[in-house]
Amino acid sequence: MPEAMIGVIGGSGLYGMEGLGDVEEVALTTPYGEPSDQFVLGTLAGKRVAFLPRHGRGHRLNPSEVPARANIHAFKQLGVQYLISVSAVGSLREEYAPGQVVIPDQIFDRTKGVRPATFFEGGVVAHVGFERPFCPLLCERLYEASQAAGATVHRGGTLVVMEGPAFSTIAESEENRRRGHALIGMTALPEAKLAREAEIAYATMAMVTDYDVWHPNHDAVTVDAVVAVLLANATLAQQIVAHAVTLIGDGFVSAAHSALATAILTDRTRIPAEARERLQLIAGRYL
């Protein structure tokens, strides 16, 4: 099995990575179905990196269709310990302008519960800590990498995750602003929760594409406008990732790496054999 310590999951507009050496494509299967696409593995700054387009090449999967459990399980199969999420988002703050980068530190869930959000079901119950949904140590490296790449970058703020695929109504956008949220997107959940259960350090590099629909001086969100900003910043996103890989270096210990240590409540003698087999990669050392 090929291995990579660092993973990158690319959102809208980021379907590949330049500058990779020793490139190979890997097709993986998981107990939760097929991932979004084949993985591209390559060497960047001396480190093996695994890249996956979240929506599949050609952008075939809407946010609710992204097979997040399969994606995270596949990253775990490859040995990934640090996962960088690149996501297109709308801004809910004047100072977070389109074309800029934000490294959020909190999530607010406004999805509808239609996406499977845990590996622990069918006879096994676990409650992971999620008070800090993004690994602070990885966030710091992404912030430093954004600065090194010359991006206008902001640190902190809450990312609201909505169901989609339609964009917000004005009422929803104004309510999210009233609550003090900073950004809105459609894909950080359940991805971040699943990464925590898989004991992978996870952080989001949010690429601002628009002002959602609240801003009186900006037109309503359109696909064409979002894509135009993303294409203009694709090179910047790849430069940030390259710097981040260097800053991650030989790795670091994150609290996420032991998230399951005290999370599993189920009596081990009552765990069904099928569940043990399904969870072997995710939680085998605790079962």
Question: Quick one: which H or E segment has residue 264?
Answer: none
- Could you write out the three-class secondary structure of 155-198? ECCEEEEECCCCCCCHHHHHHHHHCCCCEEECCHHHHHHHHHHC
- Residues annotated in a binding site for phosphate: 12, 54-55, 87-88, 187
Omega cis (within 30) before 190 = yes
Cα–Cα distance for residue pair 229/208, rounded to 1 Å: 8
212 annotated active-site? yes
105 annotated active-site? no
Q: How many C-beta atoms surround the C-beta of residue 8 within 10 A? A: 27
- Residues annotated in a binding site: 12, 54-55, 87-88, 186-187, 210-212
Query: Which of the following is catalytic: 109, 210, 219, 250?
Result: 210
Among residues 209, 220, 214, the alpha carbon closest in space to that of 176 is found at 214
Position 95: which residue type?
Answer: E
Cα–Cα distance for residue pair 215/220, rounded to 1 Å: 9
Cα–Cα distance for residue pair 174/176, rounded to 1 Å: 5
Cα–Cα distance for residue pair 84/224, rounded to 1 Å: 25
- Indicate the pairing of strand 39-44 with strand 21-26: antiparallel
Q: How many C-beta atoms surround the C-beta of residue 57 within 10 A? A: 12
Position 211: which residue type?
Answer: Y
Q: Which residue has the tokens 């387009």?
A: 53
H runs (alpha helix) in 55-187: 68-77, 136-148, 170-178
Q: How many C-beta atoms surround the C-beta of residue 49 within 10 A? A: 26
Q: Active-site positions?
A: 210, 212
